[in-house]
Amino acid sequence: MQSESIQAKIVRECIRMAAGNRLIGPKIKTGQLQRQLLEKEPRWKEPDDMTWERMDLSHFAVEVLTPDTLGKYALMQLHGGGYVNPLRNVYRNFAKKYAGMCEGIKVFSVDYRVAPEHTHPAALLDVVDAYKMILEQGYSGDEIFVAGDSAGGGLAVALCMWLREHNLPLPAKLVLMSPWLDMTASGESYEENFDKDPMFGGTKESMIYRGDYLGDYSPEEPYLSPLFGDFTDMPPMLIQVGEIEMLRSDGERAAEKAKEVGSEAKLQVYQGMFHVFQMGTEQIPESARAWEEIQCFLENE
């Protein structure tokens, strides 16, 4: 087993110190600080060889990143943030990486409605409408990828369940980074990694347990916790999780459920890694390797 990099160890400890800080730690774990800092983010600058535009729809927005050289695929990106944080620059950087794959992918990043202002099923309805919009632009289901991290990973799976149940075309593939698939927190890693997870560990006063997005619904509702749903006929999925994150078992159990009913799932567990470590992009070797795996997965016919 490959040992974790020095860069990963440094970032992990920085996260641990920030999330464990008496003053800002609680705000990080609930997502409050990230939301406050959003207003101070600089305007994102798209690469010279790509066009970036924001489309305001009825209840939400979609940001479209189009490379000058365009292949046949579109990708819908569903950002994380515990259903309480909107789209941030880090996900625009994710979109840039996706856009460079498969000879040029048109990337649709959905800035769906979030809690506490908007509870379930607001985010799912927005994602469904965004997917329909991509279909209306002339893409077929087998020309669309869906990628999501954390809450966005849960939304990606919930979307596919909704599409299947409403007889609409499913996407070609799913990329799931640290997907949040169980709002009941019933997996083994929630306890096993409770004191190891640098972001969410050590407390139950975090977005994992608060239920800000639930509204009047049960956390066992499959559109909220897809692990309680049916994984039959799901698209092939790549699932990447960190070894020490509390949500690790969500991805592991999803891979098991998919394989049990004949769906294709590739699970990758990264040693010593934390929640959505792919945000390290090229700065952390494990993150760079994860992105290489994502590109290989999407480009492999």
Residues 63, 143, 245, 286: which is the catalytic one?
Answer: 245
Q: Is 275 a catalytic residue?
A: yes
Look at residue 1 in the predicted model and tell me its pLDDT: 53
Residue 47 DSSP one-character state: -
Structure pTM? 0.96
Look at residue 301 in the predicted model and tell me its pLDDT: 72
Torsion, Cα of 43, 46, 51, 54 (10° steps): -30
- The answer to whether residues 110 and 60 touch, using CB atoms and an 8 Å cutoff, is yes
Residues 178, 206, 275, 287: which is the catalytic one?
Answer: 275
Phi, psi of 109 (to 5 degrees): -100, 120
Q: CA distances (Å), 150 to each of 77, 95, 103, 260, in order?
A: 12, 16, 27, 23
273 bridge partner residues? none
Q: Is 245 a catalytic residue?
A: yes
Please classify residue 104 by burial: count the beta carbons closer than 10 Å to its beta carbon, then call 0-12 exposed, 13-18 middle and 19+ buried: middle
SS3 content of the chain, % helix, strand, coil (to 5): 40, 15, 45
β-pair type (237-242, 74-78): unpaired
Q: Is 150 a catalytic residue?
A: yes
How far apart CA 83 and CA 117 sit, in angstroms, is 11
Look at residue 172 in the predicted model and tell me its pLDDT: 98
Reading the chain (301 residues) residue by residue, the pLDDT tens digits are 567 899 999 999 999 999 998 889 999 999 988 988 888 899 999 999 999 999 999 899 999 999 999 999 999 999 999 999 999 999 999 999 999 999 999 999 999 999 999 999 999 999 999 999 999 999 999 999 999 999 999 999 999 999 999 999 999 999 999 999 999 999 999 999 999 999 999 999 999 999 999 999 999 999 999 999 999 999 999 999 999 999 999 999 999 999 999 999 999 999 999 999 999 999 999 999 999 999 999 999 7
Find the DSSP H helices in the chain.
6-20, 25-30, 32-38, 89-99, 122-136, 151-165, 188-192, 207-210, 248-260, 285-299
Residues 63, 118, 150, 286: which is the catalytic one?
Answer: 150
Cis peptide leading into residue 116 (ω within 30°)? yes
